[in-house]
Structure formats: C-alpha cells, structure tokens
C-alpha cells in the first residue's frame, strides 16, 4: 500500500491531518512513530502532537539512544513504560526501525517527514544524498549522515509509512512554488 502524502509549510502543519487519521483508524498500540532525516522537523511535530493529544513523548535523542547501549536500553524501557499506560505515545528518531523494532513495540501509526529541495523542480532528498547510490557519498558526508543514509536504504522508512509529510527545506531557501 502506498503511503498517503501531504504537503505542509512546516511539519507541525500536519497535526490536524494526523489527528483526523487517528480518529478514523484503530491504531494499536497507541504509538505514533515519527521518522525522517536530520533536521526534517521530527521534534517540532512530536512536540505539537504531544500537546494536541495529551500524549507522552519518548524522544530517542533525550536518551542518546543512537550513541550507546545504555542510552538505548533506557530509551526502550521508557517506551515500554509509556506504552503500558494505554495513552498515546509519540516517539521520534532518524533510525526508529533499528532502535524501536516493530517486533518489540508494535507498528503504530508511522509518519515520515521528508524535507524536500524544490527549487527548479528538484524534488530530491535533502542535502543531495541518494539513498540508493551505493558507490557515491555526498561531498562532506560525516559518519552520522552516512549511517542515516545507509539506514534509509536498508529499512526504507519512507516506503513503510502510513503518511509522508513533505516539507520544503526553507533553511536552504526552498519554498513551495
């Protein structure tokens, strides 16, 4: 099934749409998974969704879940505890498929935030990386960016999402036409 796609000026513009979708679908567990590349707007959207739903937010960044096993363990414990409350839980990371596998935490409702470059009709991935290009790395790619690019190639979270939120990369001067 193809993910539904919407276009917003800012990631948090998707909040009403997501709430409407959650009301129409029986999502179990009550988990909203937000993924996207670095600086896509995951935290902004997570914050707004948490407020709007009265949800609990478990952000991987708060636990350094991508950096060490202790942080990863704490993140997973916090996520399990939040899900046990039966309230909505919002979690966000650049690599949720690795750190919060569906087999352990359930599918939930998956939102992928894609910050697009739109100038001159270019609708590519942010920062010029191509997730399917196995031979070439973007110039100046650091180890974290490389790990995220490789994660996207392997897990393809944008294809597994229920919803893709397309947002222009305004920091680079791109706007919707």
For the segment 132-159, what is each residue's pLDDT rounded down to a tens digit? Answer: 666 666 666 777 777 777 787 788 888 8
Contact at 8 Å (CB) between 104 and 31?
A: no
Q: Please determine, for residue 173, whether its predicted confidence score (pLDDT) is greater than 80.
A: no
99 or 171: which leads in pLDDT: 99
Where along the chain do its domains lie?
4-172
Helix axes 15-24, 42-53, angle to 10 degrees: 50
* Fold of the domain spanning 4-172: Rossmann fold (3.40.50)
- pLDDT mean over 15-29: 88
- pLDDT mean over 45-55: 95
Q: Please determine, for residue 15, whether its predicted confidence score (pLDDT) is greater than 80.
A: yes
> In terms of residues, how long is the chain?
177
- pLDDT mean over 96-123: 78
Q: What is the structure's pLDDT at 132?
A: 61
Q: Cβ contacts of residue 172 below 8 Å, gap of 6+?
A: 117
Q: Please determine, for residue 32, whether its predicted confidence score (pLDDT) is greater than 60.
A: yes
Q: What is the distance between the alpha carbons of residues 13 and 170, in angstroms, rounded to a whole number?
A: 15
């Amino acid at each position: 099934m193809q993910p539904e796609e919407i276009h917003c000026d800012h990631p948090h513009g998707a909040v009403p749409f997501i709430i409407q979708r959650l009301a129409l679908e029986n999502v179990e567990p009550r988990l909203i998974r937000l993924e996207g590349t670095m600086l896509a707007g995951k935290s902004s959207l997570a914050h707004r969704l948490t407020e709007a739903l009265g949800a609990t937010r478990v952000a991987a960044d708060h636990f350094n879940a991508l950096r060490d096993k202790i942080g990863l363990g704490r993140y997973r414990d916090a996520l399990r505890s939040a899900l046990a409350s039966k309230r909505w839980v919002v979690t966000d990371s650049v690599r949720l498929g690795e750190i919060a596998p569906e087999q352990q935490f359930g599918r939930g409702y998956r939102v992928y935030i894609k910050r697009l470059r739109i100038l001159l009709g270019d609708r590519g991935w942010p920062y010029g990386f191509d997730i399917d290009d196995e031979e070439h790395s973007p110039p100046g790619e650091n180890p974290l960016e490389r790990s995220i690019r490789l994660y996207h190639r392997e897990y393809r979270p944008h294809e597994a999402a229920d919803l893709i939120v397309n947002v222009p990369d305004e920091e680079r001067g791109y706007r919707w036409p």
